[in-house]
Amino acid sequence: MKISFGKKSSDDTKKTILFVCVQNAGRSQMAEGFFRKYAQKRYETVSAGTVPTSQINPITVEVMKEVGIDISSQKPKDLTEDMMRNATTIVNMGCMDDKYCPALFLSKVIDWGIEDPKDKPIEKVREIRDEIEKRVLEIIESTKDNAIPV
């Protein structure tokens, strides 16, 4: 099954993918970093959270540096109505928090169900990073025919 990019964007305008999670401190930040690295120039990306923390998980920053992506200057951001309205595609990273899960607030969201790296050993965070990279690459591959796989 595929979800097409919305009609908000023409071929001349940039399309935006929004990665969301609760704290915007790990998974969504990694996805944003990978998408920036691999995506075509006509795509923009942003990540945000329903209850963002004050800083990105340091282990997340470390494992991304291992693959040549520096996310240390990225900051957790609040998920806003403008972000949701302007996004062509929204990806929920997965929820372990039923009270603040972004999927509760969003319609037509792709839910990846990826484990939260918070409080995990670095080996596990590397596995999570690799899964996120794989899924981001799948999205980028599918943008060649203007659709995103669910």
- Residue closest to 147 by CA, chosen among 12, 13, 15: 15
What tens digit of pLDDT does each residue of 76-124 get? 999 998 998 899 889 999 875 566 666 666 667 788 989 999 999 999 9
Identify any residues that bridge with 47 across adjacent strands, giving them in sequence order: 19
Asked whether the beta carbons of 69 and 37 are under 8 A apart, the reply is: yes
pLDDT above 60: residue 7 = no
What tens digit of pLDDT does each residue of 17-60 get? 999 998 999 999 999 999 999 987 878 999 999 899 999 999 99
Third-level CATH fold of 2-145: Rossmann fold (3.40.50)
Tokens of residue 27, six digits: 């998974």
Q: How do the domains of the chain map onto residue ranges?
A: 2-145
For residue 119, how many C-alpha atoms fall within 13 Å in the half-sphere facing its CB? 0
10 band by pLDDT with thresholds 50, 70 and 90: very low
pTM of the model: 0.83
